[in-house]
Amino acid sequence: MRLYPTPSQTVGPYFHIGTDDGFIRGELVAPDHPDAVRLFGTVRDGEGAPINDSMIEIWQANSAGRYAHPEDVRDDLPLEEGFDGFGRTHTDDDGRYEFLTVKPGVVPGRDGRPQAPHIDVSVFARGLLKRLVTRIYFPDEAEANEADPLLSSIEDAATRAALVAVADDGGLRFDINLQGDRETTFFAV
Amino acid sequence: MAQRVTRGVQIAGYRRDDVEVDPPYLHPDYVATRTRSPKRPLLLLPHTLSEVTGPVYGHDRIGELDHDLTRQHDGEPIGERIILHGRVLDGDGRPVRGTLVEIWQANSAGRYKHVVDGHPAPLDPNFTGAGRCLTDDEGNYRFITIKPGAYPWPNHPNAWRAQHVHFSVFGPAFATRLVTQMYFPGDPLFFQDPIFHSVRDPKHRDRMISAFDLDNTVEEWALAYRFDIVLRGREATPMED
């Protein structure tokens, strides 16, 4: 039996009711974690206006490059107690989101080539009938980024560069522009 | 079943039939999409270990009454009590077990307990409108709630949302994440609801409408509606690049 998936619909403006409470998680690691990285940015629409009603979710491997998931069977890589790689937050009145996390390690790609450290991102909002997906790569990984199978498959340099966070204010900034000249590079996942 | 992960090299991806079903990002009748939809085409992201894994989330956080939206306060909410249940299935009809299902909705007067909802309808001190549960071994989920009211919104003159409940489901992978809305059968507001109509194929659009379910009605207590949710299915064998 082969079934089509249920269609996607927007989260609308009221998603905080169902996704807040104990189910928000901006800090994937404790603030005193020695390798904590502050990852932040502003979400904007096609007119450059900040979007104060979006939900951002991130998914990543731990610093050893291991996913806390049964399909990551590489038992030789350690799991970290208390780190499951998932974050969820809501943008604030200024359209800003922020996570506290660690840089993930290298994970294998489909052809066995290593993927540069990256974080998968889902953007949900009123006016988005389906989530938008992007990836965040790291600015201090120029060599790995150069060799990354996905990044290196993208011909346009600006499209590629848009996937790399910017060192800023002691953390990493990754702005998300849903539309327009500086539109974020989004993926069909 | 093909071997799925050999040090991450052989990955069976998820099927891309969601693009045949899902609404477009730009659906001008839904005004907010006009400035929030990307103009450039999406790039294809081949599924790697990063996309076939995903959060195993919520298991340790669910309260005993999180599935019963009528018992989260001192008194019972006003409205028509309903049982809202169904199964979460994968694209091959198999149950998706132990996955988090989150719902949120307006109260019976059509008002959300939310700071930006300015609809002049009463809040209900006994209704928050948030529920969550994990699917069981057969993929079943079950909520007890009240039927949400219709409400106006500023999309176009005299615009009203069809009655709906928001659903969020994770599934086994980053690739299976789904947020949708569940509607009620026979709603007279469907014809003018651009969010409902953003799903262009009526065959798929109608799959967002729950079924009245007499068999699961509890006599002298509550009517039941059934809503099955299907997440993307998986490719049977690892794909070649």
Per-residue pLDDT reduced to its tens digit, B212-231: 999 999 999 999 999 999 99
With a pLDDT cut of 70, the percent of chain B lying above it is 95
Please give the average per-residue pLDDT across B171-176, as a whole number. Answer: 98
Mutation for testing the A interface, residue in B10, B11, B36 having most A CBs under 10 Å: B36
Contact between chains at B34 and A125 (C-beta distance less than 8 A): no
pLDDT value at residue B239: 56
The answer to whether the Cα torsion of A187, A188, B3, B9 is positive or negative is negative
Alpha helices in chain B (DSSP H): 33-36, 49-52, 194-197, 202-205
pLDDT value at residue B238: 67
pLDDT value at residue B6: 43
Contact yes or no for A51/A91 (Cβ under 8 A): yes
pLDDT higher than threshold 80 for residue B240:
no
Give the homologous superfamily in CATH for domain A16-58+86-177: Aromatic compound dioxygenase (2.60.130.10)
pLDDT higher than threshold 90 for residue A176:
yes
pLDDT digits (tens, 9 = 90+) for A107-154: 999 888 999 999 999 999 999 999 999 999 999 999 999 999 999 999
pLDDT higher than threshold 80 for residue B65:
yes
Residue of B nearest to A13 (CA): B116
Q: Chain B closest CA to A97's CA: distance in Å?
A: 17
Annotation marks residue B151 as catalytic? yes
Catalytic residue among B141, B151, B183, B225: B151
Q: Which residues of A touch B37 (CB under 8 A)?
A: 46, 127-128, 178-179
ipTM reported for the complex, 2 dp: 0.97
Contact yes or no for B199/B22 (Cβ under 8 A): yes
Q: Chain A closest CA to B214's CA: distance in Å?
A: 23
Amino acid residing at A89: T
pLDDT value at residue A21: 72
pLDDT digits (tens, 9 = 90+) for A47-65: 999 999 999 999 999 999 9
Annotation marks residue B164 as catalytic? yes
- For residue B99, give every residue at least 6 positions away whose Cβ sits within 8 Å of its Cβ, in sequence order, or none: B88, B134, B135, B169, B170, B171, B172
- Enumerate the domain spans of chain A: 16-58+86-177
The reported pTM is 0.96
- As a whole number of angstroms, the distance between CA B172 and CA B52 comes to 8
State the CB neighbour count (10 A cutoff) for residue A103.
Answer: 19
Annotation marks residue B166 as catalytic? yes
- CA distances to A81, A174, A175, B57, B62 from A22, in Å: 19, 25, 26, 12, 9
pLDDT higher than threshold 90 for residue B10:
no
**Using 50, 70 and 90 to split pLDDT, how confident is the model at B108?**
very high
- CA distances to A105, A177, B23, B65 from A87, in Å: 17, 20, 26, 24
Encoding tokens for residue B137? 């071994």
Q: Categorise residue B190: left if φ over 0, alpha if ψ from -120 to 50, beta otherwise.
A: alpha
**Using 50, 70 and 90 to split pLDDT, how confident is the model at B3?**
very low
pLDDT value at residue B9: 55
Contact yes or no for A102/A36 (Cβ under 8 A): yes
- As a whole number of angstroms, the distance between CA B178 and CA B23 comes to 13
For chain B, say whether A5 makes contact (Cβ under 8 Å): yes
Q: Closest to A130 (Cβ–Cβ): which among B4, B22, B113?
A: B22
- As a whole number of angstroms, the distance between CA A88 and CA B174 comes to 13
Q: What is the CA radius of gyration of chain B?
A: 19
Domains of chain B (ranges; CATH) run 55-230 (2.60.130.10)
Catalytic residue among B85, B161, B232, B234: B161
